Chain A
Amino acid sequence: MIGFVSPRLWAMVQVRVLGTNAEEMIEAVVDTGFSAFLTLPFVTIERLGLQPQGILQVVLADGNAIETETFSARIELNGELRDVYVVHTETQPLIGMSFLENCQLLIEVRDGGAVSVQSL
């Protein structure tokens, strides 16, 4: 998986996400402080037709915990499809450390720099 660093120094990658209604390439920010797989806003969750799984809590950087809903989805990583849970947040989509497990992440941290995610 290849991406790029934005002018605001976010490491961006494109993730193929498959739901029951549709599949899309989603642009996501790589967030190594995020423990799970992927966050998506509700408009995208609904459009893809992701199936609700239940409620969970997310602990934020300030120590506060918020409740949100989680959904199931398939994602493609380096040619393989995986079933993962998606966390609903109304933010730019994020990918986290569960997504990156067993991968090497390389980021050239400069505007236009390369981002690569390769299986170990």
Chain B
Amino acid sequence: MSTTEKPVESIAEQAKAIYEARIRAQVEAEHFGEFLALDVDSGDWEVDKNLLDASNRLRARRPQTRTFFLRVGHVAAVVMSGVQI
């Protein structure tokens, strides 16, 4: 990782702020439960029920993307029970 790259934690915070401010209202009604791939540098995004499809479409437009994945209407993209990380 280069010294100019931002740490993982701030990517999540940035992405959630962008999502709340600019995207959520556009997607929640029609895309509940789908995965949203968000490029944290440009604010560009793609939504799809398939996470990889959203990722691939975003990457096609933004080859240098730093992507954060959200799940529309959910706290996080993935749920995991009882696993120590």
Contact = CB atoms under 8 A, between A and B. Distances in A.
> Is A bound to B?
yes
B69 A54 contact: yes
Contacts, number: 101
A33 B82 contact: yes
Q: How large is the interface on B (under 10, 10 to 19, 20 to 34, 35 or more residues)?
A: 20 to 34
Q: Which applies to chain B's interface (DSSP): helix, strand, loop or mixed?
A: mixed
Q: Which applies to chain A's interface (DSSP): helix, strand, loop or mixed?
A: strand
Contacts of B85: 58, 60, 66, 68, 89-91
B84 interface: yes
Interface in B40-85: 51-52, 55, 65-70, 75-85
A44 interface: no
B82 to A, nearest CB: 5
Interface residues of A, number: 31
Interface of B: 8-9, 11-12, 37, 51-52, 55, 65-70, 75-85
7 contacts: A33-B79, A34-B83, A54-B68, A56-B69, A57-B76, A61-B82, A66-B85
Given A60-B81, A66-B85, 7 more contacts: A33-B81, A34-B78, A53-B55, A57-B75, A59-B76, A59-B78, A91-B84
